[in-house]
Structure 1
Amino acid sequence: MTVRHAACACGQLTVECEGEPVRVSICHCLDCRRRTGSAFGVQARFREEQVRPAGDAAVFVRTADSGRRVSQRFCPQCGTTVWWTLQREPGIVAVAVGAFADPGFPAPWVEVYRERRSPWAAMPALAGIESHP
């Protein structure tokens, strides 16, 4: 079974994910842009039982465009967001793909909020497109 390790920039906050993600997606929503400081975010979603966090995490709860809560877990030392949970998907944990620091991580197959994509941001061919998450 595949086991992947994600961590914050200082290494204090980690997540171990066992098995394959149920979804890997690129998101162009404004909250993902702000969370990453980039033009989009890339996330891997796992079932809760696949994920084992370790270390101290601070929590920031925000309201998504859907009106539901998103609870972001980040390192209180370096500020890196490592994972989050979504009220609309109980039992699912989303992990920032960049936190895996693994160039061989599976490519995204879903793109969300495509209508908000920056026109200069070229995206790979994806199997699925959702207009909203």
Structure 2
Amino acid sequence: MSKRLASCTCGQLTAEVSGDPVRISICHCLECQRRTGSVFGVQARFPRENVAISGNSTEFVRVGDSGGQAKFHFCPVCGATVFYEIGGHEAFVGVPVGAFADPGFPAPRVSVYEERMHAWVAPPPGAERIP
């Protein structure tokens, strides 16, 4: 079973995952844009039992458009988000794909909140597109 290591910028907070993600998605919502400082967020979801967290994190809870909560865990030293928990999906842990610093990471298969997508962004061919 393959293993990958996600890390904050300073290396204090890590998430080691084993196996393949069950979902890789791009989110174009305005909150993901603000949270990442980019024009979308990219996350991979893994079964909770396949994720080992190490280090200290600070938690920020955000309520989404649907009323559901997301708990973002970020490094209290450098501020980078390393993992998050999505309300209603407790069996999984989300990890921002950029935290893996792996250009070979698989492409997203789902693209959500496309009504807020920047006009020049093009999701990968074949990605399921959810407005």
Query: How does the TM-score come out when normalised to structure 2?
Result: 0.97
**What's the counterpart of residue 76 of structure 2?**
76
List 4+ stretches of structure 1 deviating above 4 A: none
Structure 2 unaligned regions, length at least 5: none
Question: What's the CA shift string for 1:68-117, capped at 9, x where partnerless?
Answer: 11100000000001110011212111000000000111110100001110
* Alignment check: 8 A CA contact 1:71 1:85 kept: yes
Distance in structure 2 (CA, Å) of the matches to 1:15 and 1:126:
29
Give me the TM-score of the superposition, normalised by structure 1.
0.95
Query: 1:126: how far off?
Result: 3.1
SS in 2 for 1:56: coil
CA contact (8 A) 1:111 1:126 kept: no
2:2 paired residue number: 2
Q: Distance in 2 between the 1:80 and 1:18 partners?
A: 21
Mapping for residues 88-107 of structure 1, pairs under 5 Å: 88-107=88-107
How far residue 122 of structure 1 moved from its aligned partner, in angstroms, is 2.5
Matched residue type, 1:88? G
Counterpart-to-counterpart distance in 2, 1:88 and 1:28: 20
Counterpart position of 1:108: 108
- The runs of 5 or more residues in structure 1 that have no matched partner are none
Letter in 1 for 2:93: V
1:58 match:
58
What is the DSSP-based 3-state SS (H/G/I as helix, E as strand, rest coil) of the residue aligned with 1:61? strand
CA distance in 2 between partners of 1:127 and 1:10 (Å): 33
Q: Is the 8 A contact 1:15 1:52 kept in 2?
A: yes
Q: How many residues align?
A: 131
1:3 shift after superposition: 0.2
Q: Distance in 2 between matches of 1:127 and 1:59?
A: 30
Give the distance between the partners of 1:108 and 1:120, measured in 2 at CA. 17
Q: What is aligned with 1:35?
A: 35
| Counterpart AA for 1:87 | G
* Secondary structure of residue in 1 paired with 2:15: strand
CA distance in 1, matches of 2:69, 2:47: 18
Q: Distance in 1 between matches of 2:72 and 2:27?
A: 15
